[in-house]
Amino acid sequence: MVHSQYRISTKLVEELHQVFGGFHPGYRDVHANGRYYAGTFRATPEAKNLSRAVHLQGDPVPVTVRHSNSRSGNPMGPATTASMAVRFYLPDGTTTDLVSLPISLFFARTPEETLGFLQAVRPDPATGQPDPDKVTLFLESRPWIAHAVQLAKGLSATVSFAQTAFHMLHAFRFVNEDGHATYARYHWEPEAGVAGQTLEELQKQPPSHLFDEYELRLQKAPVVFNLVLQLAGDGDKLDDPNAPWPDDRRRVHIGRLEITRPTTNEEIGDSVMMHDPTRLTDGIEPTDDPILAARRGIYEVSVAYRTGGWKGRQAALELGGCPFLGNAK
Ligand code: HEM
């Protein structure tokens, strides 16, 4: 089981290198260009009705945020989108992470399907672009992926990280002090409201523009995001980040995040900062979502690559394979 999970993780990470034009040592395989910020999270009184998690009881909790400005693994590439990874520093010295994107549904239902999707959109070496026939054929036989791709294409490009809504996509099980469980999906809603622009407009600016704009804002006032839980209703799929839930599901405001200033890996004291959506704390549990379950392994492989561990893998492959890596190609 562990073997097969790591085999698919390695294949996914290496396919991302193909899709995004190679591996860039030292950088994440996706969302490579990022900066860190610091702030404070405070839960609303409603939060503790849903979960006994320590950071949802109302006391202020320090957080760090990593925003990135593109989906690619090329840290020098143009800005294309936005992401937001938040780490909460809990009173007992542990941490828990929320990792989010502007898309409202993930592209696939399983890691295997994600690999198939990445293989279908991998650029053709002759043209540098995905083969449109291959993409069409793939999407025609998988309308649920085509739907998520359509939704993602309909999203405007980012104007500001502070004016982007971010979604965690997976459902989690929230358990309160009485043991009562509620299934829900998280969303970060920007207090400044949501705004967008065309990709051409975004790319007229220098690649560092979204970070520079954010840091100018922070000099004037904190950037605020509200944390909202969308509660699952009857029949909503709990194990599928590709499955839409009806828009009218009840939403509960469970907290307010105030981001106040830039920070660095050095100040945080963690040079790796692997954000892991399954690093949870008592009162919040994972669902049986296979993408959620795979993410720790995928991110560990990415960390091995970006911190130099890939050299061991290359050496093992040159020697004819290694049992732990399962000869993944
Ligand atoms: C099978 C599906 C997925 C694959 C193959 C994948 C792959 C990756 C990889 C390789 C990284 C770099 C990790 C690191 O080096 O620290 C990463 C980061 C990230 N992923 Fe995923 N991911 C998947 C699903 C998701 C989903 C469902 C979301 C949205 C909720 C997401 C959001 C992010 C974000 C925001 C980051 C940047 C984290 C940071 O700033 O530290 N990913 N992903």
Structure tokens at 279: 């690093």
Query: Is the model's pLDDT at 297 over the cut of 60?
Result: yes
Q: 163 with 190: CB under 8 angstroms?
A: yes
Task: Catalogue all structural domains in the chain, each as residue range(s) with its CATH number.
Answer: 31-289 (2.40.180.10)
According to DSSP, residue 123 is labeled B
Residue 132, pLDDT > 80, answer yes
Q: 173-196: buried (b, 16+ CB within 10 Å) or exposed (e) per residue?
A: bbbbeeeeebbbbbbbbbeeeeeb
Tens of pLDDT along 234-259? 999 999 999 999 999 999 999 999 99
List pLDDT tens digits, range 42-71.
Answer: 999 999 999 999 999 999 999 999 999 999
List C-alpha distances in Å: 174 to 6, 47, 118, 122, 322. 28, 10, 32, 38, 40
| Nearest atom (ligand 1) to Cα of 73 | 12
For the CA of 167, the nearest atom of ligand 1: 30
Cβ partners under 8 Å of residue 204, min gap 6: none
ipTM value greater than 0.90: yes
Residue 322 pLDDT level (bands cut at 50, 70, 90):
low
Q: Which of 10, 19, 30 to mutate to test the pocket of ligand 1 (most atoms within 8 A of CB)?
A: 30
